[in-house]
Amino acid sequence: MTSGGNSLTAAVLLIIMMKVFSVLTQSCPSTMYQAQGLCCQKCPAGNRVKTDCTETAHTSCVACEDGTHMDKPSGLKQCTHCTICDLSFGLKENRTCTSTLDTVCKPEDGFYCVDVAAGSCMAAHKHRQCQPGEYISQTGTAFRDTECSDCSNGTFSDGTLKFCRPHRPCESLNLKLIRPGNATTDAQCEEQDQDNVVPIIIGCLLTILVIGIVIVIVIYVKRKTLCPKRGENNREQ
Ligand SMILES: *[C@@H]1O[C@H](CO)[C@@H](O)[C@H](O)[C@H]1NC(C)=O
Ligand SMILES: *[C@@H]1O[C@H](CO)[C@@H](O)[C@H](O)[C@H]1NC(C)=O
Ligand SMILES: *[C@@H]1O[C@H](CO)[C@@H](O)[C@H](O)[C@H]1NC(C)=O
């Protein structure tokens, strides 16, 4: 009996010593955390600790509040605030925050990412704007800036196009070259007949209009004289 009692005491002592040892060497298993000399069960992702475990009770957990998250099991008493994609950094949301996953940000349209951390964009810059005399040789994306290249000889661009337009070939149009083109501006030719074309077109349109009106009037008058008031009499019967 005494030996049985002794071995029980020894076992209890051993357990207490192991507990103390594990606390001293901080060796709670990875699914547990240390609180007040005990190894407590961690709360699952999406939750935080409400109260630590005791000798007699398990850890008590509660779900993360809106706007906070916990992405892995932990013994923390606070969930982490969700990242806000800051418009003033050129960012918008690519994935909304959930209780287990933080927000993922991406560049706004017209911006590209300059700083990525954990798959989320932290800062973005506006795409560069090509200058007159350049064309957009590579359209910007969320990850890459726009690339610009110079227009080659004989072409021009205002910087908003993906190509440069060739200068107007005045000579081959039998027109007089007034001002040669450069990389930003088209060549200018003398428009020999242009001054006459517009009045002629307007004259033609006016003539057609007048003829049309005359025809309408003639038809109207003819109808009135052919069937005077007959329509009205028929309707009354
Ligand atoms: C947005 O999320 C999708 C899906 O995770 C991903 O494929 C895409 O690259 C992300 N967009 C940006 C701009 O980061
Ligand atoms: C374009 O013009 C410049 C100056 O006139 C000349 O130096 C250059 O060789 C030309 N390039 C081509 C591709 O014709
Ligand atoms: C191109 O021509 C325009 C109009 O003549 C002029 O204003 C501009 O300065 C010229 N640009 C260059 C690079 O020569």
Residues 6+ apart with CB under 8 A from 19: 37, 38
Residue 156 in 3-state DSSP? strand
Pocket test residue of 85, 89, 95, 104 for ligand 1, highest count of atoms within 8 A of CB? 104
Closest residue by Cα to atom 7, ligand 2, is 153
Common-topology check for domains 83-126 and 129-191 = yes
| β-strand partners of 155 | 166
Q: Domain ranges for the chain, please list them.
A: 29-81, 83-126, 129-191
Measure 179 CA to ligand 2 centroid, in angstroms. Answer: 19
User: What digits encode the pLDDT tens for the residues 68-83?
Assistant: 999 999 999 999 999 9
- Which has the higher per-residue pLDDT, 8 or 56? 56
CATH class of 129-191: mainly beta
Cα 32 to Cα 14, 47, 63, 72, 75, distances in angstroms:
21, 14, 18, 12, 8
Whether pLDDT at 175 is above 70: yes
- pLDDT above 90 as % of the chain: 66
Measure 218 CA to ligand 1 centroid, in angstroms. Answer: 70
Q: What is the pTM of this model?
A: 0.62
Q: Which ligand has the nearest atom to the CA of 122? A: 1
Q: Which ligand has the nearest atom to the CA of 111? A: 1
Ligand 1 nearest-atom number relative to CA 142:
13
Residue 133 in 3-state DSSP? coil
Whether pLDDT at 22 is above 80: no
Question: Closest Cα partner for 26 from 96, 75, 90, 95?
Answer: 75
Task: Determine how β-strand 155-156 pairs with β-strand 147-150.
Answer: unpaired
15-49 burial, b at 16+ Cβ within 10 Å, e below that, comes to eeeeeeebeeeeebeeebbebeebbbbbbebbbbb
Measure 88 CA to ligand 1 centroid, in angstroms. Answer: 20
d(CA 208, CA 99): 73
Closest residue by Cα to atom 13, ligand 1, is 106
Measure 182 CA to ligand 3 centroid, in angstroms. Answer: 6
Give the pLDDT confidence score for residue 13 in this predicted structure: 59
Average the pLDDT over each of 127-136, 153-162, 195-204 and give the range with the smallest value.
195-204
Token pair 């196009």: residue: 161
CATH code for the domain defined by 83-126 = 2.10.50.10
d(CA 199, CA 205): 10
Measure 160 CA to ligand 3 centroid, in angstroms. Answer: 17
Q: Which CATH architecture has domain 29-81?
A: Ribbon (2.10)
Q: Which ligand has the nearest atom to the CA of 132? A: 3
Whether pLDDT at 194 is above 90: no
